[in-house]
A and B are shown apart, each in its own frame.
Chain A
Amino acid sequence: MNAPLLKHDRRTSEVWQRLALVTDPELDESVTDLGFVEHVTVGDDGDVDIVFRLPTYWCSANFAFLMADDMRRAVSSLPWVREARPQLRDHMVADEINRGVREGRSFADALREFAPAGSLDELRDKFRRKAFERRQEIMILALRGLGYEDPEICRMSLHSFDEVEFASPDVARQKPRYRELLIEVGLACLPEDRAFVAYEGAPIRRHELASYLQRLRGVRINMEFNSSLCRGLLAVRNREFADGSPGRTPSPCGGCGSRCAAPSGST
């Protein structure tokens, strides 16, 4: 029995578990599911290095910074971690981001040349809102699919919502994610609270649900555009790095959109 090795494995797996909670703000998917994180190195002294790569060299600098910062926060919350160092690779401003996150600087300070508008917290809130609306649309459409009428959905309590079982694996996966945001944002906490309200907390009136859903669909269409492109680009990039010879010949897989992109990064 090799105790130090076991401890090391356990720590590595703890880091991966924490990283799985970090999402890409635009895609609302975990950075580990998306295959962004390439490897994790845990030192005996409690230092953790996290190497990650985004779909392109051009991926938005503020999103990259946000993810690096979220990774640092998530991993640092493990009690044995001394320092968590996310390292972004092959990105236009990788050095600035890595240094900025490590030194705990603000985005505006770390990337002054990009003259970012607004703070990172504002950006976080904007994307939390989008994630909320996207998850909410999935839940409402699924309820309609199960035969619930609009008035029932609008006045459904958190308790009743908890009771509903969804057969579709994707909807079932999104249910706790939606619920988690309801609580995090403080929109519904008690069993009798309404399960479906607007992000600002206002109830959705039954005759407004159709137009409300129309707006949510707009949010989703935009997010899906990004996520399809990003996943496609990431699959291409991973193949190139795996080949070692960036795309001199046609790659074996094309037109994958989001569905067939291999998110493991191990192709």
Chain B
Amino acid sequence: MFITPTGEEVFVIDGHTHFWDGSPANQLNIHGKQFIDCFYAYHTSLSPKDKLWPKDQFEKYSAEQMYRDLFVDGPDDMAIVQSTYLAEFYKSGFNTIDRNAEMAKKYKDRFIVNGAFDPRDGERALEYIHYMKETFGIKGVKLYTAEWKGESRGWKLTDPNAYRCFELCQKLGITNIHVHKGPTIIPLDKDAFDVHDVDHAATDFQGLNFIIEHCGLPRLDDFCWIAVQETNVYGGLAVALPFIHGRPRYFAEVISELLFWVGEDKILFGSDYAIWTPRWLVEKFWNFELPEDLKQEHGVDLTPQAKKKILGLNAARLYGVDVEAQKAKLAKGAYATAAG
């Protein structure tokens, strides 16, 4: 729960978190080392100085620490924990659903565990979707279209195999499709994170929501264009939000574009933990005001109501979380913990 300076309670769902193991012991090759090194460079270059972690802690952290950073020291009420396999880089995967679910089990009512699949697996991808639904009851997945696999350097949401997976997701009620469309961490072909495939998939699968993580940056204009056309396309703020610290004017420009094109009902907060911790992000976001010139130019404002939607209410709607009931549950849990 985030308490505003005026004492108001704001319900926070962190839409994008990870519980990874990027430690040297789990690295399969130089790519595994370079991947976590690159994340660490993101962490060091965009975090406030006093929020920096030592490298070894960043490579692998405990479930207890994650719980503390998000819910005790941090303002999150709930967090969506995403799965990313990167099986070609890490011996037992970077953050698999099994690792995530194991962690989530310890902290009742806190985590929404999302799965992942790779349509290039063909039949096995379909079986895996069934398995994740039956075993973990997933409501969403995180897809990584730029992931390497054998000779392949990426895939598209419009691939026939991907469409078969989406048909199944729609049928099973796995309705939230988070897609990483962001900075080219893995470069491959420059088009691997191109956002245009979202347009077609979103049109063809009206029963699914497509949450575009990182808002397609650095292809924000393409993303905005698609989000205007498609009612089921959302934007995740992970990676865009940390600019609020080092380059607030730049963040203001990005959020103004998003508010204008995409609208406050379709933007989701995400810390991208453990690249960044949520507390400073939420505090700065709540205190952030759009500069007057941008307000006037775009005719938009980042009102307290818009902030509440972005911080939690939008994700609650997508994941069917009854905010009042959830608050009561968590309050009871906290009381039980305190008493026990």
Q: A222 with B246: in contact, given A59-B187, A248-B55 (CB under 8 Å)?
A: no
By the criterion CB–CB under 8 Å, are B56 and A248 in contact? Answer: yes
Chain B neighbourhood of A247, CB < 8 A = 37, 40, 44, 55
By the criterion CB–CB under 8 Å, are A254 and B190 in contact? Answer: no
In the complex, what distance in Å separates the CA atom of A218 from the CA atom of B40? 28
The reply on B219 being an interface residue by CB < 8 A is yes
The reply on A197 being an interface residue by CB < 8 A is no
> Shortest distance in angstroms between B224's beta carbon and chain A's nearest beta carbon?
8
The reply on A33 being an interface residue by CB < 8 A is no
**Number of chain A residues close to chain B: CB under 8 A:** 46
Chain B neighbourhood of A92, CB < 8 A = 31, 34, 187
By the criterion CB–CB under 8 Å, are A229 and B55 in contact? Answer: no
Q: A232 with B45: in contact, given A225-B218, A246-B37, A255-B246 (CB under 8 Å)?
A: yes
The reply on A202 being an interface residue by CB < 8 A is no
The reply on A221 being an interface residue by CB < 8 A is yes
By the criterion CB–CB under 8 Å, are A223 and B218 in contact? Answer: yes
By the criterion CB–CB under 8 Å, are B221 and A222 in contact? Answer: yes
Closest Cβ neighbor of A237 among chain B residues: B41
Chain B neighbourhood of A233, CB < 8 A = 38, 41-42, 45
The reply on B197 being an interface residue by CB < 8 A is no
Contacts of A146-166 to chain B: CB distance below 8 A: none
By the criterion CB–CB under 8 Å, are B37 and A254 in contact? Answer: no
- Cβ 8 A contact of A62, one of B47, B52, B190: B190
Contacts of A194-244 to chain B: CB distance below 8 A: 215, 217-219, 221-226, 228-229, 232-233, 235-237
The reply on A253 being an interface residue by CB < 8 A is yes
Q: How many A-B residue pairs have CB under 8 A?
A: 135
Q: Contacts A225-B217, A228-B247 known; list 17 others, CB within 8 Å.
A: A57-B34, A58-B184, A92-B34, A117-B189, A218-B221, A221-B250, A221-B254, A225-B218, A228-B246, A232-B44, A233-B38, A237-B41, A248-B55, A255-B46, A255-B49, A257-B247, A258-B247
Chain B neighbourhood of A114, CB < 8 A = 153, 188-189
The reply on A249 being an interface residue by CB < 8 A is yes
> Shortest distance in angstroms between A87's beta carbon and chain B's nearest beta carbon?
18
Could you list 7 A-B pairs, sorted by A, with CB under 8 Å?
A: A116-B189, A219-B221, A223-B218, A225-B220, A225-B240, A250-B54, A254-B44
Chain A neighbourhood of B31, CB < 8 A = 92
> Shortest distance in angstroms between A66's beta carbon and chain B's nearest beta carbon?
11
In the complex, what distance in Å separates the CA atom of A236 from the CA atom of B37? 10
The reply on B191 being an interface residue by CB < 8 A is yes
Chain A neighbourhood of B47, CB < 8 A = 254-255
